[in-house]
Amino acid sequence: MKPYATISTASLMNCGIISINMDLYSAKNKNNSDLSAMISKQAIDIAFAFLHQKLQVYMYSSMEWQRDDIEMAVGDYVQQMNHSLYTYISNGLPEFLLTHSRFEHDLQQAVKLLENYITP
């Protein structure tokens, strides 16, 4: 198994990949009702930056070991990400981003959804 890099909040900030805005807002689900918890802009920015980068490599990789490593990295990230945000992007779907057979589809959906909340 090949090692993979993990991305921390500090490293994203130091590289200028994300800007930190600590304003909180309530994300809306598809039925336009509020989530039970507030999700920070920072959590959304970090999730988008990480998942978007992984999707770009995954989509164009022809190396199975690299694609497997990306699935593992995303799986590890999902385990520690903001629970309310994960619940929102997964739309309550069990094993979202954790199932090999639909990983690419789930990843595309997550990035598309998060993209709506990223400010230019």
pLDDT tens for each residue of 34-50 = 433 478 888 999 999 99
Distance, in Å, from the CA atom of 17 to the CA atom of 62, rounded to the nearest integer, reads: 26
DSSP state, 97? T
Q: For residue 15, is it within any domain?
A: no
What is the pLDDT at residue 108?
98
Q: For residue 37, is it within any domain?
A: no
What is the pLDDT at residue 119?
67
Contacts of 77 (CB under 8 A, 6+ apart): 6, 50, 51
| Lookup: tokens for 17 | 């990949």
Q: For residue 83, is it within any domain?
A: yes
Q: For residue 8, is it within any domain?
A: no
Structural domain boundaries enclosing 95:
42-120
Mean pLDDT of the chain: 77
**Closest by Cα among 100, 95, 41 to 72:** 100
Q: How many domains would you assign to the chain? A: 1
Q: For residue 77, is it within any domain?
A: yes
